Chain A
Amino acid sequence: MDFFAFVIWPYVALAIFVVGHVWRWRHDQFGWTSRTSQLLERKWLGLASPLFHVGALLVILGHIAGLLVPAELTEALGVSEHLYHSIAVGGGVLAGVLMGVGLVLLIIRRVVFRDRLRLVTTRGDIVLYVLLSVIVFFGFVETVGHNVVGPGYDYRKTVAIWFRSIFIIHPEWTLMASAPFAYRVHATLGFALFAIWPFSRLVHVWSVPIGYLARPYIVYRGTRLATKERGS
């Protein structure tokens, strides 16, 4: 069971993630969009969407720091365990609250304004909303339940090492055996998110328009000039 959840499933999910993106890019750039619904409902979105997105970005940063940065590195840099823990828990709660509140508001919005928003809510969106909610819920159980209220659990000795081991193709799945239930579910569903990613609106994440800061304002298509160098 653990072998499936923490070895086979992550690799399957990652394979779907990669192949799925290639397929989607080649076959459906037309649908590669954030699928905005702001036209149909503006007020709630104006509050909920920034909350959710800012929260989600912080959450992603938090996961990078927690999972990809080895404990040895932060220690070598002189960050004490206590300091790391406070930052991780404090930041995690803040990010989680922003994202969680945003998500709840977005879901309420879909329900309250369902008459209009039904038009732009696909089955994939519903799957995504449910999955995200469950993942965020278990994230709170971890951060608040185990680390604020509870005695604390050092995931950097187990979960993080397991996570990194996947990418060096040397999965240490036995480490997950001792992890609390919430961590195990959170991790498994996390990979589910990777698996549905290329087929959902999440693909818009890869289109963050950073290039906008540098591109010329006026775009011509033709041959005599590529993108015109006018405007700044």
Chain B
Amino acid sequence: MRIFAQMAMVMNLDKCIGCHTCSVTCKQTWTNRDGVEYAWFNNVETKPGIGYPKAWEDQERWKGGWALDSSGKLRLVSGGRIRRLTGIFANPDLPSIDDYYEPVTYDFDTLLTQPVGKGMPVARPLSALTGKPTSITWGPNWEDDLAGAGTTATQDPNMKRLAAKAKMEFEKSFMFYLPRICEHCLNPACMSACPSGAIYKRERDGIVLVDQDKCRGWRMCVTGCPYKKIYINHATGLAEKCTFCYPRIEAGLPTVCGETCVGRLRYIGLILYDLDAVEAATLVADHELLEAQRQVFLDPFSPEVIKAAQAQSIPPEWIEAAQRSPVWALAMKHKVALPLHPEYRTLPMVWYIPPLSPVLDVTAEVGGDPVLPDDIFHAVTSLRIPLDYLAELLTAGDTDQVAGVLMKLAAMRAHMRTRTLNAETDHDMLARVGASAEELEDLYRLLGIAKMADRYVIPPAHTEDAAMLNAWTSGCSLSDASGVGPGGVGYPRAASGPVPVELRRRK
């Protein structure tokens, strides 16, 4: 058992209002530069819809992620190593900028310089790439609130897998928002596809980064990532991705998307996992993936785990942070959070609590009462839509798992309602979802009223580690393989001075 820590996130989809604050603040912080105008490390999609880049979930087309071959071995969908190197002169599976969108700015100058006249001055859209007038025909949130869903929603790869009738019902019934960042996977396909070995996972917190000095612009990572969350900066020719705001995390602060989330639906915390169990979890059948992924995580309360973690130089504050982790609580204790597309087999580390609201909508549509648990349970279990869709998204098609979570969420609401009304606790209902009243109340506190300090449990990096963390970002600290330095906490001192992380602008 080799114990590692992972910074992970959970998002509660019921609470996302699709305001894009997270996307905008992230962009202002990280991608407000030449070359990444089109890149959104955080983006928010309306589902059903094809998303950003177009139809990113269509792996037959984009060849992202992993799959088991006929002999049960794990292979990148885009092929083996040799196959990848033969595609190095022109990657056949790379999305082009038009699959994202043509970034635009506006001709604001006209607003100021147009002489007095009868007409209102108009700021026309200009392509941010060419500087020439352009017409806007697509964008990263083009499908907001199902806009244009009539033509695009049926192209949603998740929809395509549903039965025809289901599609029709589904289209008129509901929508929800899906905020997405890099998943900081335990088995990242971007990394495995990188010919240069420039992408790495930080041992201490699992954040996946691109070494800008090692990247040679072979652009295989973009194809490798099934979530299309790694981007080519066309000004530098190098790959860039979401950094989980590592400089903030090291300072004990939440990510920018988390800090600014209007719906307060994001949770950030540590998860301890067993490195030696990761590989096995990628090799099971589709319907066993969720359980296998859960098994990789280690119980931070187990004395055995604590002892092993201490022996492996995990600082006590980190173990304590793992115990208080809301991610552990939501994904493992209450089991209401689910991984996005586990069938890509990258072991994503941003999990989602499926939205109950689509089910409530349908409950009302079929004449049920969306506050009565029985009606909701009935809707959850008898109306295949939207359950099938959520299952495609979060459990590799296993509807029972999603139904279980939704029923638990419905039971939580009903239970809190009875408490507010001083009505009698419905033990029958609690038994059906297999949760005690205390558990549901605990879940309610976490989902409904958790304060910032409960939602974001981030142990700051030790100051003595800061220089070394910096050295990791650029250049390899592995030259010092000696391990624990004197007085350290299991991480050695930097071999050389700090290396600045540079963000260049085009001259």
Residues of A within 8 A of B (CB): 29-42, 45-47, 49-50, 52-54, 115-116, 118-120, 204, 207, 209, 211-213, 215, 217-228, 230-231
Question: Judging by beta carbons under 8 Å apart, are A38 and B90 in contact?
Answer: yes
Could you say which of A54, A115, A222 contacts B202, with CB atoms under 8 Å apart? A222
- Given A29-B213, A223-B491, A230-B278, check contact A41 B96 (CB 8 Å): yes
Taken residue by residue from 218 to 238, chain B's Cβ proximity to chain A (1 for < 8 Å, 0 otherwise) reads as 110000000000001011111
What are the residues of chain B within 8 A of A34 when measuring CB–CB? 216-218, 237
Q: How many A-B residue pairs have CB under 8 A?
A: 160
Distance in angstroms between the alpha carbons of A223 and B196 in the assembled complex: 21
Distance in angstroms between the alpha carbons of A112 and B237 in the assembled complex: 21
Q: Which B residue sits closest to A214, measured CB to CB?
A: B81
Could you say which of A30, A50, A212, A220 contacts B203, with CB atoms under 8 Å apart? A220
Question: Judging by beta carbons under 8 Å apart, are B90 and A46 in contact?
Answer: yes
- Interface size class, chain B: 35 or more
8 of the cross-chain contacts (CB-CB < 8 Å) are A34-B216, A40-B129, A54-B89, A115-B130, A207-B216, A213-B82, A219-B197, A225-B275
Determine whether B106 belongs to the interface, using a CB cutoff of 8 Å to chain A.
no
Given contacts A31-B236, A38-B94, A212-B196, 20 further A-B contacts (CB under 8 A): A29-B214, A32-B213, A33-B215, A33-B237, A33-B238, A39-B219, A40-B97, A115-B132, A119-B234, A120-B234, A207-B196, A212-B85, A217-B192, A218-B201, A221-B201, A223-B480, A223-B484, A223-B492, A226-B481, A230-B279
Within 8 A of A (CB), among B447-494: 472, 476-478, 480-481, 483-484, 490-492
In the complex, what's the smallest C-beta–C-beta distance from A29 to chain B, in angstroms?
A: 4
Taken residue by residue from 1 to 20, chain B's Cβ proximity to chain A (1 for < 8 Å, 0 otherwise) reads as 01000000000000000000
Determine whether B92 belongs to the interface, using a CB cutoff of 8 Å to chain A.
yes
Could you say which of A119, A211, A225, A230 contacts B197, with CB atoms under 8 Å apart? A211
- Given A119-B129, A213-B81, A223-B480, check contact A46 B92 (CB 8 Å): yes
Interface centre among A37, A120, A211 (most CB of B within 10 A): A120
Determine whether B270 belongs to the interface, using a CB cutoff of 8 Å to chain A.
no
Could you say which of B192, B313, B480 contacts A231, with CB atoms under 8 Å apart? B192
In the complex, what's the smallest C-beta–C-beta distance from B195 to chain A, in angstroms?
A: 3
Question: Judging by beta carbons under 8 Å apart, are A228 and B89 in contact?
Answer: no
What are the residues of chain A within 8 A of B194 when measuring CB–CB? 212
Question: Judging by beta carbons under 8 Å apart, are B235 and A42 in contact?
Answer: no
Question: Judging by beta carbons under 8 Å apart, are B203 and A215 in contact?
Answer: no
Question: Judging by beta carbons under 8 Å apart, are B237 and A30 in contact?
Answer: no
Distance in angstroms between the alpha carbons of A22 and B127 in the assembled complex: 39
Taken residue by residue from 273 to 313, chain B's Cβ proximity to chain A (1 for < 8 Å, 0 otherwise) reads as 00100110000000000000000000000000000000011
Could you say which of B218, B238, B481 contacts A209, with CB atoms under 8 Å apart? B218
What are the residues of chain B within 8 A of A116 when measuring CB–CB? 97, 129-130
In the complex, what's the smallest C-beta–C-beta distance from A94 to chain B, in angstroms?
A: 18
Determine whether B187 belongs to the interface, using a CB cutoff of 8 Å to chain A.
yes
Distance in angstroms between the alpha carbons of A213 and B83 in the assembled complex: 11
Question: Judging by beta carbons under 8 Å apart, are B237 and A218 in contact?
Answer: no
What are the residues of chain B within 8 A of A218 when measuring CB–CB? 187-188, 191-192, 201
Question: Judging by beta carbons under 8 Å apart, are A224 and B89 in contact?
Answer: no
What are the residues of chain B within 8 A of A54 when measuring CB–CB? 89
Q: Which A residue sits closest to B129, measured CB to CB?
A: A116
Distance in angstroms between the alpha carbons of A115 and B476 in the assembled complex: 39
- Given A40-B234, A223-B483, A231-B192, check contact A212 B213 (CB 8 Å): no
Could you say which of A31, A33, A217 contacts B191, with CB atoms under 8 Å apart? A217
Question: Judging by beta carbons under 8 Å apart, are A39 and B92 in contact?
Answer: no
In the complex, what's the smallest C-beta–C-beta distance from A35 to chain B, in angstroms?
A: 4
What are the residues of chain A within 8 A of B203 when measuring CB–CB? 220-225
Distance in angstroms between the alpha carbons of A118 and B236 in the assembled complex: 14
Taken residue by residue from 364 to 395, chain B's Cβ proximity to chain A (1 for < 8 Å, 0 otherwise) reads as 00000000000000000000000000000000
What are the residues of chain A within 8 A of B476 when measuring CB–CB? 221
Determine whether B502 belongs to the interface, using a CB cutoff of 8 Å to chain A.
yes
Q: Which B residue sits closest to A215, measured CB to CB?
A: B197
Determine whether B265 belongs to the interface, using a CB cutoff of 8 Å to chain A.
no
Q: Top 5 A-B pairs ranked by shortest CB distance? A: A222-B203, A209-B195, A35-B237, A217-B192, A33-B217
Distance in angstroms between the alpha carbons of A227 and B312 in the assembled complex: 18
Question: Judging by beta carbons under 8 Å apart, are B477 and A223 in contact?
Answer: yes
- Given A30-B502, A50-B89, A224-B203, check contact A36 B188 (CB 8 Å): no
